[in-house]
Chain A
Amino acid sequence: MQALFRKLCGLLMLIGGLGVLALMVNVTADVVSKFVWNAPIQGTIEVSSYYYMVALVMLPMAFVELEDEQISVDLLFNHFPGPLQRVSLVLTCLATTGILWTMAWRTGLDALRAWNIGEVVMGSREIIVWPGRMMLPLGFTLAGLAALVRLVMVLRGENIVKNAEEAPSA
């Protein structure tokens, strides 16, 4: 089960990575096309912002959470005794799932609403944006699930702090 979830997160991370390439290629092509033929690729700004960027940020979110790559400060935490460290990790994971699923719930409702009305934005062209919105609840839900997986790992006594720091450096 866990292995399957990890595979899924890895796959979404990969798709997010395609967003990097798509962004680079599309914007570059737009610039070249403007420069050479004075003909912009209409919709570049909208597609870049509402698709590539959203994919790039939202899809890898669960992977980032699972790998403990979210940014945190462990200044005080490192000086906590072992049991207190585990208690903080348990509470932190629970809170993370709680707020991320809250975000998933609301952005999910927004995505449904956007789908129902067929949401578009008006740039140089009208661009449909509701499919982009779908990536938000997906990303938040899976990231919340990843935090739960981490919770299970803590309860099993596994180490989930990736960059567990040694003694403070000079």
Chain B
Amino acid sequence: MSNLMIGWIGVASLFGLLAFRMSIGVALMLVSFVGITVMLNSTAAFGIVSAMPFNLIGDWSLTAIPMFLFMGFLAANTGLTAGAFDLLRLVLARVPGGLASASVGACGLFAAASGSSIATTAAMSRIAVPEMLRAKYHPSLATGVVAASGTLGSLIPPSILMVLYGIFTEQSIGQLFVAGVIPGALSALIYMGMITVRAGLNPSLAPPVETRVDRAELLRLIWSVWPFPVLVLGVLGGIFGGVFTPTEAGAIGASLALLVALLRGALTVGAMKAAIRQTTLATSSIFFLSIGAVMFTRFMGLSGVPRALTDAMLAVSDNQIVIILMIAALFVILGMVIDSIGLILLTLPILLPVLEAADVNLIWFGIICIKLLEIGLVTPPVGLNLYVLHSALSGEVKLRDIISGTTWFIAMDLLTLLILIAFPAISLFLPSLMAQ
């Protein structure tokens, strides 16, 4: 049997095992281990077991994930951010789905402080989702919006994925960062537009809110808003002031949340214990799944599936637009089962010569590429953003609702993608200013 064949059988087995309710992490580990054993030998399979878990867990830049989760749990358990959302609810009372749109905005703001989509989702899920649920928003909308908006973390600078893309394509990371700003804002606006229209047509998704409050109540609300901006601006300011890096920002955010809760007298032993427990459970289960995901990416790489699929799809035409559309299809398919970093590492070496031959602007393609990788983050079975959200909510919302909630946002992502492909200037305008 050829390696390629084994690879495809592996993909099919993965879906089969998941149907039997095997945990995703175990299914990924099992298929990778057996697949590599059949393809090479058990020594090599053991070699992957030996190489992946310790190096993945020991990756410094991933420490931001538990720290942002902790920040979110602390903020939520001590009611730090409820005030901000209560006020937003009042201000946006007339806007259908106003809280969901506000969450998009909050994610976008947070994205500027975090280099990774998963960290952005980790921070925002616990802060925003319970507030929307409290306002009787439909769980799938409340979760879908954060799962999707969390992906702004990689599109809006700073961005670990852009740094990697810049290194592998030898493009300017600065230009990529700048190029991501407008597409990031555009994505957010399109999300908001969709939310407004959907919630307007179907008020049961996001029920209208009671807006009458007396003066005293309003003043109390305004006074209670401060912790949220303090948290976000503290983290943002620290990064842009050169005090700490986006990776360190997670720990600072958590410390800041702790400090604010302490100042407000909201920090109880119970809240603290619950936050630690929730962070621990979520981190352990997410990393367990991630270990499986990186093993599976190695299995895929060794099998040659991504290479073969890429070759086949690129052979169709040498027209620029056709190539990009084929790559989009390729990334959406492979993005289901391969993690985002693995996906660029495995495909870019094959894609680059083709893109260069077709004279594709690599900054423009970089933005398209990041947007595509982000879609992979919210498509099961390897869609880490979904699981971060699910874990952060301690199972309050069913995974199925989260998945169905994100489909609307994926549709919007595809729309944004078409706009970005049709109008390269959206991505290239700011970098062109920078070059002068």
In the complex with contacts A72-B18, A76-B19, A31-B280 CB distance below 8 A: no
B201, CB-defined interface residue at 8 Å: no
In the complex with contacts A24-B255, A53-B58, A56-B283, A99-B288 CB distance below 8 A: no
B41 to chain A, nearest CB (A): 14
A56 to B250, CA, bound (A): 15
A149, CB-defined interface residue at 8 Å: no
A16 to B33, CA, bound (A): 27
A102 to chain B, nearest CB (A): 6
B23, CB-defined interface residue at 8 Å: yes
Q: Could you tell me the dominant secondary structure of chain A's interface residues?
A: helix
Q: Which of B18-37 contact A (CB under 8 A)?
A: 18-26, 29-30, 33
Out of A31, A52, A99, A133, which one reaches B26, CB within 8 Å?
A: A99
Q: Number of contacting residues on B, CB 8 A? A: 59
- Chain A residues contacting B380 (CB-CB under 8 Å) are 73
- Chain A residues contacting B22 (CB-CB under 8 Å) are 72, 92, 95-96
In the complex with contacts A50-B58, A64-B284, A110-B54, A169-B401 CB distance below 8 A: yes
Tell me if A20 and B66 are in contact (CB < 8 A).
yes
B63, CB-defined interface residue at 8 Å: yes
Tell me if B21 and A77 are in contact (CB < 8 A).
yes
Tell me if B29 and A16 are in contact (CB < 8 A).
no
- Chain B residues contacting A110 (CB-CB under 8 Å) are 50, 54
Tell me if B29 and A103 are in contact (CB < 8 A).
yes
A128, CB-defined interface residue at 8 Å: no
In the complex with contacts A77-B20, A99-B26, A60-B254 CB distance below 8 A: no
The digit string for A127-164, where 1 denotes a CB below 8 A from any CB of B, is 00000110010000000000000000000000001110
A100 to B30, CA, bound (A): 9
- Chain A residues contacting B50 (CB-CB under 8 Å) are 106-107, 109-110
Out of B49, B285, B395, which one reaches A107, CB within 8 Å?
A: B49
In the complex with contacts A17-B277, A24-B251, A107-B53, A96-B26 CB distance below 8 A: yes
Taking CB as reference atom, which chain A residue is nearest B386? A71
A37, CB-defined interface residue at 8 Å: no
- Chain B residues contacting A169 (CB-CB under 8 Å) are 139, 398, 400-401
B390, CB-defined interface residue at 8 Å: yes
Tell me if A89 and B21 are in contact (CB < 8 A).
yes
B62, CB-defined interface residue at 8 Å: yes
Query: A-B pairs with CB below 8 Å: how many?
Result: 185
B149 to chain A, nearest CB (A): 21
- Chain B residues contacting A21 (CB-CB under 8 Å) are 276
The digit string for A48-76, where 1 denotes a CB below 8 A from any CB of B, is 11101110111011011001011111111
- Chain B residues contacting A96 (CB-CB under 8 Å) are 22-23, 26
B57, CB-defined interface residue at 8 Å: yes
The digit string for B243-262, where 1 denotes a CB below 8 A from any CB of A, is 11000101110110010000
Taking CB as reference atom, which chain B residue is nearest A19? B280
7 A-B pairs with C-beta separation under 8 A = A27-B250, A28-B252, A60-B284, A71-B289, A73-B18, A103-B53, A106-B46
Which 4 residue pairs spanning A and B have beta carbons closest together? A27-B251, A70-B23, A77-B21, A88-B20
For the A-B complex with A23-B63, A23-B251, A48-B60 known, give 6 more contacts whose Cβ atoms are closer than 8 Å: A17-B280, A27-B251, A49-B63, A57-B287, A63-B284, A163-B398
Please list the residues of chain B having a beta carbon within 8 angstroms of any beta carbon in chain A: 17-26, 29-30, 33, 46, 49-50, 53-54, 57-60, 62-63, 66-67, 70, 139, 243-244, 248, 250-252, 254-255, 258, 276-277, 279-281, 283-289, 380-381, 387, 390-391, 395, 398-401
